[in-house]
Amino acid sequence: MQDRPIPRPGVMAIDAYVPGKSAAAGTGKIYKLSSNETPLGASPKAIEAFKTVADKLELYPDGSASRLRDAIGARYGLDPARIVCGAGSDEILSLITNAYIGPGDEGIFTTHGFLVYKIAIQAAGGVPVVAAEKDFRTDVDAILAKVSPRTKIVFLANPNNPTGTYIPFDEVKRLHAGLPRHVVLVLDAAYAEYVRRNDYASGIELVATSENVVMTRTFSKIYGLAMLRLGWCYAPAGIIDALNRIRGPFNVNGPALEAGIAALNDEEHLAKTLAHNDRWLPWLESEISKLGITVTPSVGNFLLLHFPKTTGKTAKDADAALSAEGLVLRGVAAYGLPDCLRLTIGPEEANRKVVDVLTKFMAGAARA
């Protein structure tokens, strides 16, 4: 007889997700550059919309998120009936996995793909399958080579976190064409709004013309609503039906629904956020590269910094030096990148301070 409850087989083999640090030991102002949050904050209109429901907290929210789905549909030209909203795109990813993966089924993702994919697959009793990347980019042929009779889902983060890389839409379509029709292709487009490349597409077209493609999106990044946990997906009717059968009846809270609607309609704030990223992403990439630190070119709102072993300057030591100055970056050893740090594009003061501290660190003058 067991003397306490024991989780089902496989649960305790899951490595729990560990978020980026939010504090540093240094004195003075702390700049959190570890979670890819927008430095401009949420839209003022979203904040006001959030406040309007403060006196209605005793009420259940709209269980179907109908007004938010309508707003998303109007924004992107989509049928609201083919949209499901959730508590962040993380919940959507878990819903998809629970709907289509059972014990022994396989889910594929790439070497440095989002950690939640593996967790979701294992939580559903499935088997995680890793496809190698090429130069920190998704390799379509490597994914297709991993497909087996047991494959049920392929996760593609495009752009990918934490590398910041992407593959062109033609490659996404080639991946889809090579998959069996019963395999679900999940296009995780959490950073789609930041991409400024003519050959990129988030996946709306592919979803609209297919029965096995889902595109997931989030309000946590460019819209600055990370604290409210709000995401959504666009999918074929059959997949939407399955997700609605297993999601919680009130899985999105009321303040999030109102803030999301307002955020979608604030074009001015969105433009300011994009302009800020367009200015500082290339500047940081250029300035940090000059220091002997390899920077993976990114199309998101973050950069992956590689500290070459030949310099004797490790990512761990760099993290300590930055933390001592109030700069909190993301260690990515859990992604198989122990020699790297991920840097979120922050406010101007933080961006300049990062370059200054790294300059001193690489010259041997930073205090750790």
**What CATH number should be reported for the domain holding residue 293?**
3.90.1150.10
Q: Which residue has the tokens 């297919």?
A: 210
Residue 102 CB contacts under 8 Å (≥ 6 apart), including other chains: 124, 125, 126
- What does the pLDDT average to over 200-223? 98
- Would the pLDDT of 366 be above 80? no
Looking at the fold, whether 202 and 88 belong to one and the same domain comes out as: yes
Angle CA 33–120–304, to nearest 5: 25
Picking from 236, 266, 296, the residue at the C-terminal end of a domain is 266
Strand partners, 137: 134
Looking at the fold, whether 36 and 90 belong to one and the same domain comes out as: no
Looking at the fold, whether 244 and 284 belong to one and the same domain comes out as: no
Give the max Cα distance, the chain: 63
Looking at the fold, whether 145 and 31 belong to one and the same domain comes out as: no
- What does the pLDDT average to over 123-151? 98
Percent of the chain topping pLDDT 70: 98
Residue 368, in any domain of the structure: no
Looking at the fold, whether 262 and 277 belong to one and the same domain comes out as: no
CB 97 within 8 A of CB 107: yes
Looking at the fold, whether 144 and 35 belong to one and the same domain comes out as: no
Instruction: Read off the pLDDT band of 27 (50, 70, 90).
Output: low
Residue 51, in any domain of the structure: yes
Q: Which amino acid is at 95?
A: L
- What does the pLDDT average to over 230-249? 97
Out of 3-12, 79-88, 347-356, which region has the weakest mean confidence (pLDDT)? Answer: 3-12
Picking from 208, 237, 266, the residue at the C-terminal end of a domain is 266
Looking at the fold, whether 223 and 102 belong to one and the same domain comes out as: yes
Long-range Cβ contact pairs of 329-335 (< 8 A, separation 24 or more): 329/20, 329/33, 329/34, 329/305, 330/20, 330/21, 330/33, 330/34, 330/35, 330/162, 331/20, 331/21, 332/162, 332/304, 334/15, 334/18, 334/115, 335/112, 335/115, 335/162
Residue 3, in any domain of the structure: no
pLDDT score of 17: 72
Picking from 216, 244, 266, the residue at the C-terminal end of a domain is 266
Angle CA 80–85–86, to nearest 5: 175
Number of domains in the chain: 2
Percent of the chain topping pLDDT 90: 89
pLDDT score of 1: 73
Long-range Cβ contact pairs of 227-230 (< 8 A, separation 24 or more): 228/50, 228/253, 228/255, 228/256, 228/259, 228/260, 229/87, 229/88, 229/90, 229/91, 229/253, 229/256, 230/85, 230/86, 230/87, 230/88, 230/256, 230/257, 230/259, 230/260
Looking at the fold, whether 288 and 174 belong to one and the same domain comes out as: no
CATH code for the domain in which residue 191 is found: 3.40.640.10
Looking at the fold, whether 151 and 297 belong to one and the same domain comes out as: no
- Would the pLDDT of 367 be above 60? no
Per-residue tokens: 270: 């969105």
- What does the pLDDT average to over 150-166? 98
Looking at the fold, whether 118 and 178 belong to one and the same domain comes out as: yes
- What does the pLDDT average to over 237-248? 97
Q: How far is CA 329 from CA 39, 227, 296, in A?
A: 14, 19, 16
Interval 107-117: pLDDT, tens? 999 999 999 99
Residue 54, in any domain of the structure: yes
Interval 284-312: pLDDT, tens? 999 999 999 999 999 999 999 999 888 78
- Would the pLDDT of 368 be above 60? no
Interval 48-104: pLDDT, tens? 999 999 999 999 999 999 999 999 999 999 999 999 999 999 999 999 999 999 999
pLDDT score of 308: 87
Beta strands in 141-276 (DSSP E): 151-157, 184-188, 213-218, 231-234
Question: Domain range spanning residue 93?
Answer: 44-266
Average per-residue pLDDT for the chain: 95
Looking at the fold, whether 247 and 347 belong to one and the same domain comes out as: no
Residue 329 CB contacts under 8 Å (≥ 6 apart), including other chains: 20, 33, 34, 305, 319, 322, 341, 342, 343, 344
Q: How far apart are CA 217 and CA 220, in angstroms?
A: 9
Per-residue tokens: 93: 């990813």
Interval 171-199: pLDDT, tens? 999 999 999 999 999 999 999 999 999 99
- Would the pLDDT of 230 be above 90? yes
Looking at the fold, whether 220 and 327 belong to one and the same domain comes out as: no
Residue 357, in any domain of the structure: yes
Instruction: Read off the pLDDT band of 26 (50, 70, 90).
Output: low
